[in-house]
Amino acid sequence: MPEAAPTSKYIGFDHLLFWVGDSKQAASYYITRFGFEPVAYSGLETGSRNVMTHVIAHPASPSSHRIIWAFQSAINPSDAKELTAWVGKHGDGVRDMAFTVSNAEAAWKRAVDNGATSILPPTEKKDENGRVVIATIKAYGEVVHSFIQRDEYKGPFLPGFGAAKPDPLTALLPKTSLVQLDHCVSNMPKGVMEPTVQTYEKWLGFRRFWSVDDSMIHTEYSSLNSIVVCDPDTEAIKTPVNEPASGKKISQIEEYLIYNAGPGVQHIALRTETILETVKGLRERGVNFIQTPDAYYDDLRKRLKAANITIKEDPTLETIQKYKILVDFEPEVGYLLQIFTEPQGERPTLFIEIIQREGHQGFGAGNFKALFEGIELEQARRGNLVDAGVMEYKAM
């Protein structure tokens, strides 16, 4: 019998690669605001002549689910034209949502054989710390997915990177506990969500995990549709794919598409097991969050009482209300606590979610209305809560 073709399994998110205007300053921002620590560096001193990369990781995340973000910028823009053009078009944002896999070549081959466009064929990289195999495909828009096979590598990040110097501020600032990258949300133009989900199924073997539509997720002004896909092996990789639905005003999805100049990663959800302490620490570090009106908590208390559910972290909801944390729940299943930051860059695009799960594996559908209303207030402040059709995303 012919030998079976090699297969690959997904292990989890490997890292997120951000393309930015200044990688040193971007990495420093997330170190000081969110509690990351520097772990690796690549630049002129390591032999990288065209691009500089600063890699950070959150110290509270375990090695099995380490939260690793890499920030890359051009040293010589004329020799890094793709990166420079990407940042000029999209602003600072996620270029590569990379996955750790057991066999990078097999994962890449499956995707390419099923229609994906190859960006980098399987490539072995080595240094004194071992070897990795990396392969990359086009995902959607100008976002890519890399497959990283690193079971034979013991270095700080990837071959060609040196260990980074510690940042003395990490010992002086309030602690935060972010233990896992929970999910990454992708925004699509209207009508593109379903085809994108189908490519995840066909190319990557992902499956549909959860979905909502505009009958559930809407305000007076805007609405969305969302399908969450996940890897078939561990369910550790989850990416909701969103699109706008018809509404009176432009939605936050449409605002994102306009300022990002197309589809991309809208927000990153970081999981914590101690959301009250972590949000307190983040606020003390200067992180600004979307505000939720007090009326939300009056209604929440009534709904929790009717469902006979107690939030063990804060039974009276006093601190939850103080910090403007949202609560979603399902009787006999559990609840989740979540909160969303304001945009983290100069454009109203990328933001961060902090989430704690207590048995509930959903994505806060019960909170979307409150979240959207909070975001709409921010849109109004920016002058972007305008009638549908006044500002439009146009494919480039």
Annotated binding site: 183, 267, 353
Nearest to 182 by CA among 367, 369, 363: 363
Nearest to 161 by CA among 66, 280, 38, 78: 38
Ramachandran angles phi, psi of 312, nearest 5° = -65, -30
DSSP 103: -
Nearest to 276 by CA among 311, 315, 309, 325: 325
SS3 of residue 240 by DSSP: strand
Q: Token pair for residue 225?
A: 């549709």
Binding site residues for Fe cation, as ranges? 183, 267, 353
Q: How far apart are CA 252 and CA 348, in angstroms?
A: 9
Half-sphere exposure for 106 (CA within 13 Å, toward CB): 13
Distances (CA, A) of 143 to 36, 81, 117, 163: 24, 16, 12, 27
Bridge partners (DSSP) listed for residue 118: 137
**Strand 180-187 to strand 238-245: parallel, antiparallel, or no bridges (unpaired)?**
parallel
Q: How far apart are CA 219 and CA 376, in angstroms?
A: 9
Q: How far apart are CA 164 and CA 226, in angstroms?
A: 39
CA 42 to chain centre: 23
